[in-house]
A and B are shown apart, each in its own frame.
Chain A
Amino acid sequence: MKRAEPNRLVSLMVDNLIWLFVLGAFIAFSLLSDRFLSPYNLGNILLRSAAFGMLVLSQAYTFITGNFDLSVESSLGLTAMFAALMLVTSEAGGLGWQLNPLLVILLMLVLGGLIGLFNGVLITKVGVNNLLVTIAMLFVLRGATYGISPGTSISFFPKEFTWLGGGTLARVVTDNGNFVLSVAGIFVILAFLVGHIHTRYTQFGRNMYAVGADADAARAAGINVDRVVIIVYIIAGVCAAFAGLLQAGRLNAATPTMGANLIFAVHGAAIIGGMSIYGGRGNIIGAFGGVLLWSILDTGLNIMGVSPFWIDVSRGLLLLFAVLLDALRVRYQHSAQMRLALAETTVGLHDREQSSG
């Protein structure tokens, strides 16, 4: 059967649009500002958005299954604050336990996972709407963060703790400044890489896509939908805990407002990266492109001295643009299907297609 195929090149470009944007933004800022391409700045792009990146990863996971978790920004705040309390002396505002940093990191990852488990169980087993559950948790966890905090920021962490978020793997000295290869930057790249392999090349990852594409069909195919969704929420919680640890480590401080109001920027980056809140679409690498673009835009506009308000406007416009493109893509596919349907039903059109093709 002959098929009026949408142009392959167009499809390929549409599917990988995010990387065209990343490239375009990179070139544009390089031309607009000589400071953008400086080694210091390039090293900084990923370091500064490491925590943000982990939140995007958490949402990429939930998005694939057609879910989302608004509470991750509060999980970030809570894990950072909790870790700080357990690490520092009572004079510095902590509990005075001064626990082993590695133990604290492990405990916080477990805490993040438990929050995810709680969300996941409420959503799947109890059947509460995911928007309502995660909004509720957004408030609960943020409130708890304020509640346990001494009211001020906590700082002066042990070096072992700050290594993850603020450590340096290598430093290249150039005439133009230093290029710093940060632990956090490499960590985020690795995390996305693992996420990509996990979602693309394991049975569990593909089950996630199946659940997001059509939960009923996935169930009919023998997939334990609830289990998949719960595990995905646990992964999202662990990612959020990592985000908290990275953020606290980079700033060498924890404040109760950390991560607040970040969630929609996180969703924006994931959506620009090709993910869909309706599930079953996009991929983790694309989401990483979303993080890069968001971060390049941020850093670039900052360097150029654009006011933060206008940076927000540009983010919003970028998101609108991405959503618009998605709508156009759907329409394009739809019209290609319509043309196909016409070719099949109208004798004349069909013949013409065949004689020309």
Chain B
Amino acid sequence: MAETRALARSDMTLLDMRGISKSYPGVQALQDADFSVRRGEIHGLVGKNGAGKSTLMGVLMGIRAADSGTIAIEGETLHHASPQIMIDAGISYVPQHINLLNTLTVAENILVGNLPKNRFGLVDWQAVNDDSQARLSRLGLKLDVRQPVEGLSVAERTMLAIAKALFNDARLIILDEPTAALSRVDIDLLFGFVRAQQEQGVAFIYISHHLEEVFEICDRVTVMRDGQIVGTRAISEINVADLIHMMVGGGVKEYGRESAAGHEVVFEVQDLSRRGAYEHVSFVLRRGEVIGISGLQGSGADELAQGLFGLERMGVGEVTIAGEVYRPGSPKSAFEAGVAYLPQDRHRYGLVQLRSVRENVTYSVLDRLVGRLGVLMRQDEQAITEEYIDKLGIVTPGPEQRTLLLSGGNQQKVVFAKLAATQPAVLILHEPSQGVDVQAKVDIFNIINDLSRQGVAIMIISSEVRELIGLCDRILVMYEGRITNEFSRAADDMLPEDILLAIEGGPGDADA
């Protein structure tokens, strides 16, 4: 044990990739990239979408063949690369969406393909359970091995996937956005486990958009941009601003916008409560105003968004739009009342991925496009689509491209186009910048800004406090179902530290 500890702390290079280049027709995906990972370190890999992270990792996993360059593991150069060679070399990948056998038990997942047998050649279930339990205990992972994987939390599944990699003698594990679906408690659990394995000399490559987490767990961080390695830094020698600067290239200012808030109240929520979700929620939203609502998972912010759009029961209380009573029974009635909603999970709710940009943009306004004899006016449809492709800067070969083939940021713009086409009075945005790269974020903020100037009242439910500060006229903080704090640009009190403290349930003035 003492020996492995010593090795873990050494600076010995585990992985050394040198001069890796890879081009696709018309695109230089990787250019002369050098990337190295030390034994027992957690190495962050960050960069905008399309910066080359996936290509580099694909080369490392043997899925993509590099045009040139070398890969050496513990000083030994690998002359060929294939997925099997890389796995044999101890490199393992844990994807964001964990691939496990969900209906089967933890034990069977660990030993799948190689179950212990008794002397009759039949599966010895006692041994399966004991063996897998013992293996997990050695890694310090407490799971009931008889439980089906579908009963595990996402964090537990991630840890199980890491454990499985370790059982296959992995020395370097690539974690791809492991915390995307995790609560803070789960993140701590996962990080604790990852650090424990690091102590044993296992190295990790940590790919994430969440820079705070990179600072929390990584020893070093490498930044990629436009297919090149911008640089590698020890985490102690860099701060968030510098890291973002390396990712984006040119200087990036925090987004700032002029308020377009009018006086006329468009949307008013009075004393709205739904059991188990939120209590006594009251606020007003004026024409052209942008407000942010932020809270932890379970604070009621998510539920409020869904309730106000008719995805869930709205509960008891009064809500009015332009003075008229608003009680959506379904998303359709919410739409008809002038409320549009950008869902958090655009892949599931926001887009029909297999259909074209045109169909996605226009399907919520088709009733306006029906001509004589009930036939759709294709030209109008085309015109609307092209107008929004142009206005929102959607990068697509054309209106007929399937949205599936667009980048995350462009998909999100298509959802915005769909919503804007309905000409809503109130727009509810649920985590609008999730899973899109830095440049697309700026585009999306510009769209939000434009819409507010057109008079749309906008409500953003988001956990990205810094983005909310740049975008919103006011920020409401929810905690345990209630609005506990209000910060506003007018009062000049939108300080990130204060807002984050309020979100965590710190001392707040509930009457604000």
Contact = CB atoms under 8 A, between A and B. Distances in A.
B183 interface: yes
Given A345-B185, A345-B296, A201 B103 contact: no
B112 A216 contact: no
A341 interface: yes
Contact of A348 (B101, B189, B480): B480
Nearest to B143: A1
A207 B103 contact: no
Given A333-B150, A346-B298, A210 B101 contact: yes
Interface stretch (A24-32, A218-226, A234-242): A218-226
Contacts of B153: 337, 340-341, 344
Contacts of A214: 99-102
Contacts of B296: 345-346
A206 interface: yes
A345 B297 contact: yes
A280 B505 CA distance: 43
A216 B101 contact: no
Nearest to A349: B298
Interface string B93-125: 000000111111000100011010100011100
Interface in A188-219: 197, 200-203, 205-207, 209-210, 212-214, 216-218
Nearest to B98: A217
Contact of A202 (B101, B121, B189): B121
A172 B112 CA distance: 48
B186 interface: yes
A113 B147 CA distance: 36
Contact of A209 (B101, B117, B150, B184): B101
A232 B187 CA distance: 42
A205 B125 CA distance: 13
B142 interface: yes
B151 A206 contact: no
Interface in B140-183: 142, 144, 150-151, 153, 183
A contact patch SS: helix
Interface residues of A, number: 38
Contacts of A350: 185
Contacts of B185: 344-345, 350
B507 to A, nearest CB: 15
B298 A342 contact: yes
A345 B183 contact: yes
Given A200-B123, A333-B151, A342-B298, A280 B184 contact: no
A220 B480 contact: no
Nearest to B184: A345
A333 B103 CA distance: 12
B178 to A, nearest CB: 16
A350 B122 CA distance: 43
A276 to B, nearest CB: 8
A315 interface: no
Interface residues of B, number: 29
Contact of B101 (A203, A280, A340, A347): A280
A336 B99 CA distance: 22
Contacts of B183: 341, 344-345
A35 interface: no
B480 A212 contact: no
B99 A206 contact: no
Contacts of B150: 333
Contacts of B102: 213-214, 280
B112 A210 contact: yes
Q: Which of A209, A344, A347 has the most CB of B within 10 A?
A: A344
Interface in B241-297: 296-297
B104 A207 contact: no
A206 B505 contact: no
A203 B505 contact: no
A205 B151 CA distance: 23
A213 B104 contact: yes
Nearest to B83: A220
A214 B153 CA distance: 18
A216 B99 contact: yes
B117 A203 contact: yes
B455 to A, nearest CB: 37
A199 to B, nearest CB: 10
Interface in A312-355: 333, 336-337, 340-342, 344-350
Interface in A209-265: 209-210, 212-214, 216-218, 220-223
A206 B101 CA distance: 11
A260 B173 CA distance: 54
Contacts of B189: 1
B104 A209 contact: yes
B482 to A, nearest CB: 13
A221 B184 contact: no
Contacts of A223: 112-113
A346 B183 CA distance: 10
B112 A1 contact: no
12 contacts: A1-B189, A201-B123, A203-B113, A203-B117, A209-B104, A210-B108, A213-B102, A213-B103, A214-B100, A279-B103, A341-B183, A346-B296
The 7 closest A-B pairs by CB, nearest first: A280-B103, A213-B101, A201-B122, A345-B183, A217-B99, A346-B298, A213-B103
Given A201-B123, A222-B113, A280-B101, 16 more contacts: A201-B122, A203-B115, A206-B115, A209-B103, A210-B104, A210-B108, A213-B102, A213-B104, A214-B101, A217-B99, A223-B113, A337-B151, A337-B153, A342-B298, A345-B184, A346-B296
